[in-house]
Each structure stands twice: as C-alpha cells, then as structure tokens.
Chains A and B, each alone.
Chain A
C-alpha cells in the first residue's frame, strides 16, 4: 500500500531536549515536505526537499532542521524544542512528474507537546 509513515503519532517532551520525528514514503517520490498545523493558522510549510541532498526552507523554518540522505526518508529535527513548537505536524510527499497529480500524500500526523 502506497503510504507516508510518520513516527511517533504522539510525543510529549521537555524544553530543550532534542527530538526527531521520522517520515518515510514507499512511493519513490522525489518531493517531500513538512508542515505544521495550528488552530487559526492552517497548514504552514516548514521545509521541503526536491530530491536527495536537496532541501529548502518553507515559510516557518526557524527552530527546525531536516535531512534527505535517501529518497524514502525525510526526518524533522528539533535541536532545542520550545513550547511554541507545540503543534500537529504532517509529512507529505508527491511525484512532480505526474501531469495530473493525485496531490500530495500525507502521513497520519505527529502531535507534539513541548512543556
């Protein structure tokens, strides 16, 4: 089954403790992206990657890092989490070579709470 897998689904952590949210897709998609979703603000892009070793900042990259060492994985790293990073996070992937895109495939989400 074609899917994007995020882990963990839920995470409660303390301020300053480094964490990684993993994202993996099995569709051989070149493009992957991370979003955060907050009430009243909608989905905002954090980082995206057009291919292996190619990443770029989205609209809200501060406080986050990403890496793309292989096509299937795109982890999101919070080196020193702060309470304002409490949010619902989604990873997404898509194949830009599809003419009639079936859109982006989203992972199930990670609800992060930083206390």
Chain B
C-alpha cells in the first residue's frame, strides 16, 4: 500500500508565504497531485508533478523529489480565501495491473489569519 504523510493543521498570516510538506512511501509511482478543498466542497486540482523539480503556477508552486519521496506546496501572498484543506495525492500504477490508483493523504487544514 501507500503511506502519505502531511501535517494535520497549519496557521499562517495574510500576505505571508506558507509551505505544506508531503512525504510518501510507495511503489509504482506515477505522479503527485495537490488539491485544494474548501469545507463540504469537492477537491479542486492545483498542481501535478511527475518529474523532480519545481512547477510554478501563479501564487502556487509545487516541488517534487522522487528519490526522497517528498513534495511541498508553496503558497505565496496568502489571502483569506486560501483557508482550506490541501490534499496531497499520489498516483501509482500497481505492478502488472495496467490500472491507476490515486491515494490521498489526510489533508492539511490551513487557516489564514489577518
């Protein structure tokens, strides 16, 4: 199975920068996703990394190190609307299965305070 760890909760100040870490242990790695989820709503796609390095998209960046089983999501210029849960998810291709499995971490609840 897959083991995905991320902090349960974080608090940051409006206008600041926050980094949310995710570590994983898996076989058949086929990419790592970050999703944002506001309470009671569906997750929405933020970023996708399959190769090592940094992917930047506006105020959001995501980094991946496959050798270390590590990723982070960086949020800059925090806004109040960024208060949400951030889900790290790993996609694997199980050996010989010819299928895809997407497994989520338990999520990090980010609170942005004035």
Chain A interface residues (CB < 8 Å from chain B):
31, 33, 35, 40-45, 48, 50, 56, 58-59, 88, 90, 92, 94, 96, 100-109, 111
Contact = CB atoms under 8 A, between A and B. Distances in A.
Contacts of B99: 48, 50, 56
Closest 9 A/B residue pairs (Cβ): A103-B45, A42-B106, A106-B42, A43-B104, A50-B99, A42-B104, A103-B33, A106-B43, A108-B42
A31 to B, nearest CB: 6
29 contacts: A31-B100, A33-B102, A41-B106, A42-B87, A42-B104, A42-B106, A43-B87, A43-B89, A43-B104, A45-B101, A48-B99, A48-B101, A50-B100, A88-B40, A94-B100, A96-B100, A100-B48, A101-B48, A102-B45, A102-B48, A103-B45, A105-B45, A106-B42, A106-B44, A107-B42, A108-B41, A109-B40, A109-B42, A111-B40
Contact count band on B: 20 to 34
Q: Is the interface of A mostly helix, strand, loop or mixed?
A: strand
Interface string B91-113: 00000001111111111000000
A50 B93 CA distance: 12
B110 to A, nearest CB: 15
Given A35-B104, A42-B104, A108-B42, 14 more contacts: A31-B100, A42-B87, A42-B107, A43-B43, A43-B104, A50-B98, A50-B99, A58-B101, A90-B43, A92-B102, A101-B31, A104-B45, A106-B42, A109-B40
